[in-house]
Amino acid sequence: MEAGCCYVPLMRIVVTAGPTREAIDPVRFISNRSSGRMGYAVAEEAVARGHGVVLIAGPVALADPPGAQVIRVTTSEDMLAAVGNALESCDALVMAAAVADWRPVTVSAEKIKKSRIPPVIRLEPAPDILKTLRPRKGGRIFVGFAAETGNPLPEAVRKLRDKGLDMIVANDVSQADAGFDVETNRCTLVTGEDEAVALPLMSKMDVAGRILDWIEKRRAG
């Protein structure tokens, strides 16, 4: 670090990435299009800056980032347990995963025969990881993402407050060059102090850098 530059303390950062899968039976599930790239970019950039990183990833086809401790999970329940275990010793949590909001009420132990698949599958809310862990936040920095179609800001601000976050990264996932399963993203960083910084289209690595700049600045006070 250059003389005269502000001191950035190294942190232990938990990052989530990718989708979750909620089983219907042993071969079918409910999931979404998350590739894991956004969360992996945050993990890689955090490692490159010298932070200790625990990356909790749903089913993705990406190689483990060198230097990060990677925990692979499948369901929202698994992810909640893994984040809950890692939380105690972390300074910041970045929830880039696209966690299921709903899951089937019953999971068949046997593959459901095509002729017996019910026309309607009953769903129940999946655990909301950020809301569940909110009482344990303490002095930790919590960053969430808001995946929206159309103007993402009103919903992002609602989620920021509802989930007790320090910052939320709003992305309009209806655009072909942003959001799910692409290398680039177009985000607005919205903070609990009602600041909103709109970033231009950039690589997910560059978005990750901007998120970590903010976290480091917040941590340094």
Which one is catalytic: 32, 85, 151, 185?
32
Nearer of residues 73 and 126 to ligand PMT, judged by Cβ: 126
Q: Can you tell me the distance from the alpha carbon of 204 to that of 50, in angstroms, rounded to the nearest whole number?
A: 19
Tell me whether strands 12-17 and 52-57 are parallel, antiparallel or unpaired: parallel
Binding residues for ligand PMT, rule: CB under 6 A, are 18, 34-38, 76, 95-99, 101, 126, 128-130, 144-147, 159, 163, 171, 173, 179-181
Task: Assess whether 151 carries a catalytic annotation.
Answer: no
The minimum distance between CB 107 and ligand PMT, in angstroms, equals 17
The minimum distance between CB 139 and ligand PMT, in angstroms, equals 20
- 3-class SS at 118? coil
- 3-class SS at 219? helix
Question: Residue 148 is encoded by which pair of tokens?
Answer: 């929206």
Q: Where are the beta strands (DSSP E) in 10-73?
A: 12-17, 22-23, 29-30, 52-57, 69-72
Nearer of residues 8 and 184 to ligand PMT, judged by Cβ: 184
Question: Residue 100 is encoded by which pair of tokens?
Answer: 């299921």
- 3-class SS at 91? coil
The minimum distance between CB 10 and ligand PMT, in angstroms, equals 24
The minimum distance between CB 209 and ligand PMT, in angstroms, equals 15
Residue in 68, 152, 59, 125 with CA at minimum distance from that of residue 98: 59
Nearer of residues 111 and 161 to ligand PMT, judged by Cβ: 161
Nearer of residues 4 and 135 to ligand PMT, judged by Cβ: 135
Q: List active site positions.
A: 32
